[in-house]
């Protein structure tokens, strides 16, 4: 590549991208999917709260594991 071509490559101003193309694509979720996401977040929040209770000595590890299995529907 000649020096002039390299210079031109680095000095040309690219065409601006339309602003719509820069926007993140939001997935279109059905109501059941939205509710499912919300339910997962609720379970995660509940597990965090229960773990805090274990750390504070309010719940035993066994009680935490039992409630965790129940929340995750593993029983």
pTM for the model stands at: 0.53
The domain tally of the chain equals 1
What residue numbers bound the domain in which 38 lies? 32-75
Is residue 21 classed as helix, strand or coil in its secondary structure? Answer: helix
Burial 13-48 (b: 16+ CB within 10 A, else e): eeeeeeeeeeeeeeeeeeeeeeeeeeeeeeeeeeee
Q: Is 1 domain-assigned? A: no
pLDDT digits (tens, 9 = 90+) for 25-73: 555 656 766 677 888 889 999 999 999 999 999 999 999 999 999 988 8
Q: Is residue 44 part of a domain?
A: yes
């Amino acid at each position: 590549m000649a020096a002039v071509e390299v210079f031109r490559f680095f000095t040309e101003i690219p065409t601006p991208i339309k602003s719509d193309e820069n926007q993140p694509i939001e997935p279109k979720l059905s109501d059941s999917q939205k509710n499912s996401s919300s339910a997962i977040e609720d379970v995660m929040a509940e597990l965090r709260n229960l773990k805090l209770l274990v750390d504070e000595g309010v719940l035993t590890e066994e009680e935490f594991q039992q409630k965790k299995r129940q929340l995750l529907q593993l029983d």
